[in-house]
Structure 1
Amino acid sequence: MPIPLLVQIPLDPLRLARIAAAGFEIHHAPTPAERAEMIPRLAPVLRAVLTNGATGMSAEAIATLPKLEIICCIGVGHETVDLRAAKARGIRVTNGPATNDVTVADHTWALILSIARNIPGADAAVRQGEWMNARGPRPIVFGKRLGIIGLGNIGRQIAERGERGFDMEIAYHNRARRPESPYAYLPSVKALAEWADYLVIAAPGGAGTRHLVNAEVLEALGPQGFLINIGRGSVVDTEALVAALHDGRIAGAAIDVVDGEPEVPPALAAAPRLIITPHIAGRSPEAMMATASLVAANLQAHFAGEPVKTPVPMPVD
């Protein structure tokens, strides 16, 4: 008999079918209203939940599911899953590292080049018959300084593309220095911003990184510096970013994530020198199916009594 699985994030039919084929009965409730209706009805039988880093799973939500055994996050993020509540119940938590890092790194470079060369603005101007107005000079990327906040799998791939493809100097800031990395380590985000021409956020969300990039960091990045965020929207102080863009205190920003997404603050949407994409950096067909396959593998391993493939480390009390 298929095992009941609550899917509480939007998921396309192909990935739902991939997970269902692994032996799971899908209950798809991607909106708060759908979950409010479905969870009380299915709580006595639900044994697994599929979520992501943005939606997560609170202690209160965990408490409503007495038979819950495993929480799977379909991407690498798990910052809003209450790990202490899960640990107290003996609930396993998994995530999806290394399933979409190639795709995210590709998208990061699309954003870097687009904001540096003002591709969206030039395209819009030409379509409006303003050919000459679209021909202002724009900075190059080749040979510039690339700073990366968060040198995990994704950050490393972004760095490698910058080094090998664009002959850039690379430096990074991380929670801890990576001795195996050939790149320069800078001791603070502010120091990295002062150094960089292009500052990329590839850090996870959560309380530890909230507003890591604030007004002081943006001031350090300066009027010739560009900010690119493919990590989490919460890492950036949105009000400070809007002010810096309006005042010309940074050259521009290109972001794939917004704090509070999918809602975009009107002031952010109206800001100049800004490119926003709707959290699509990891959404290639290849990556999407890889994430679904890893979820299926983790679920199957758990219910077969085997170690899961990609466990999230639990907090040490």
Structure 2
Amino acid sequence: MKTKVVLFEKIHASAAATLHDHDISEIVQVPKALSGHELIHALQDADAVGIRSNTQLNASVLKELPRLRAIGCFCIGTNQVDLATAMTLGIPVFNAPYSNTRSVAELVIAQTILLLRRIPEKNARAHRGLWDKSAQGAFEARNKLLGIVGYGNIGTQVGILAESVGMRVCYYDPESKLPLGNAKAIPSLEALLEQADAVTLHVPGGSTTENLINRERLGLMKPSAILINAARGTVVDIDALNDALRQGRLGGAAIDVFPVEPKSEKEEFQSPLRGIENLILTPHIGGSTEEAQANIGREVAHKLARFLTAGTTRTAVNFPEVPHMEKLAISRILNVHRNEPGVMAGINASFAAYGLNIVAQQLQTRGPIGYAITDVDAPISEELMARLCSAPASIRCHLV
């Protein structure tokens, strides 16, 4: 049978082009997110699916899709997929954690400069017919201290760009990170907040970072300082930020992510932050550039294609990672099984029983599952495939 991939939510054309380059020709594109029975029906005969943030692949949906072999999240986050259920069903999930790094970093630097110069206020007043040429409270970026909270892939890029416009850079990260350029590590978040002229957040979501920037920590910042959040919507206490801005206890802010966001363009964006002049509100567009979306399309489609055609699971977020291995023999078998003693011995005994020689084999485990790629030097019969698939510990078995 042909390999079928369904792409939802207007994924960039680079994805389909990449899949075609890997000889995957049956590609169905659905321009919007689906749910419930519509989603299950659309994926009933799909080998792989590509989604963005609005398509929810929960446990009940995944269990209705026995043919589905791989999921591609054409974005950074994977919260829209039940990763644990996908793993137990033998379905690897891929994403694009770094493809929009440059786009986010450029937005942060642009917002930093605009806020330091108080451009949002000047712009709003000019639209109302006011000619406000005052230099009061407007500063150059040069020699200002940028504090980066979370010194990962995006944080380091922000630091490099900030230095290129003359800013000084410090960072706080709970893990030890090697500084790039002239950046300096700060021993605590509180110390960074007290010193920085601009603070930008680049931390993951979750319970450990929920309301990381709260009322108390906002109170540590300079009254002239600015805050930028292009990380996760739950990282900043929105009510506390609203009070700080409206009471003049903070110089300005730029927020790209929110605790609750509209599900579509037709839904009104609701936030207490609306109407504040020294605040830039953007609709979660940190990675929304043509370049970033094209990169994401290529990266995730490449990962899907590598898995579907060769079994490669490198960088899968929920699955044992097996690097790419050139097919060295006539047949390649992909076997996902429960991580139990003796499974590989049974698999290899089955090959031996049919007189097949193993040319190459890789095995990795992760938690409750194991994943093996085996190359053998002859065709695989339907009888042997049935035997491998019906083994007591087998979750799924495919021939590529």
Distance 1:83 1:185, change over 3 A: farther
CA–CA distance in structure 2, aligned partners of residues 204 and 54 of structure 1? 19
Displacement after TM superposition at 1:143 (Å): 0.7
Given the superposition, is the C-alpha separation of residues 157 and 16 from structure 1 closer, same or farther in structure 2, using an over 3 Å criterion? closer
State the alpha-carbon separation in 2 of the partners of residues 261 and 210 from structure 1: 16
Match runs of 1:105-120 below 5 Å: 105-120=105-120
Q: What number of residue pairs does the alignment pair up?
A: 311
Gaps of 5+ in 1: none
Identity rate of aligned residues, in percent? 31
Asked if 2 retains the 8 angstrom alpha-carbon contact of 1:190 and 1:216, the reply is no
* Alpha-carbon distance between aligned partners in 2 of 1:86 and 1:249, rounded to the nearest angstrom: 47
Question: More displaced, 245-254 or 176-185?
Answer: 176-185
Equivalent residue in structure 1 for 2:275, among 270, 283, 299: 270
1:150 equivalent in alignment to 2:155: no
Pair 284,40 (structure 1): closer, same or farther in 2 beyond 3 Å: closer
Partner of 2:328: none
**Aligned-partner Cα distance in 2 for 1:187–1:136:** 35
What is the TM-score normalised by the length of structure 2?
0.70
Give a deviation string over 1:277-315, Cα, whole Å, max 9, x none: 122222222221111011210111110133145322558
Alignment of 1:38-187 (within 5 A): 38-52=38-52, 57-131=57-131, 133-137=132-136, 138-168=138-168, 170-179=169-178, 181=180, 183-187=183-187
Give the corresponding residue for 1:285.
Answer: 290
Report the Cα distance in structure 2 between the residues aligned to 1:221 and 1:156, rounded to whole angstroms.
22
Distance (Å, rounded) in 2 between the aligned partners of 1:86 and 1:120? 45
Q: How far apart, in 1, do the equivalents of 2:122 and 2:179 lie?
A: 41
1:20–1:316 Cα change, 3 Å: closer
Cα distance, 1:206–1:273 mapped onto 2, change above 3 Å: same
Q: Which amino acid aligns with 1:219?
A: G
User: Take 2:65 and 2:195, find their aligned partners in 1: how far apart are those partners?
Assistant: 49
Q: What's the secondary structure of 2:72's corresponding residue?
A: strand
Once the two structures are overlaid, the 10-residue window that deviates more, 49-58 or 77-86, is 49-58
CA change 1:199–1:167 in 2 (3 A) is: closer
1:254 to partner: Cα distance: 0.7
**Is the helix fraction higher in 1 or 2?**
1
Contact 2:11-2:297 at 8 Å conserved across structures: no
State the distance in 2 between where 1:55 and 1:229 align.
Answer: 25
Deviation at 1:69, TM superposition (A): 2.1
State the SS of the aligned residue for 1:203. Answer: coil
**Paired amino acid for 1:225:** A
Superposition map of 1:161-310 within 5 A: 161-168=161-168, 170-179=169-178, 181=180, 183-262=183-262, 264-308=269-313, 310=315
Is the contact made by 1:258 and 1:264 (CA closer than 8 Å) also made in structure 2? no
- The root-mean-square deviation of aligned C-alpha atoms, in Å, is 2.7
Which residue of 1, 18, 27 maps to 1:25?
27
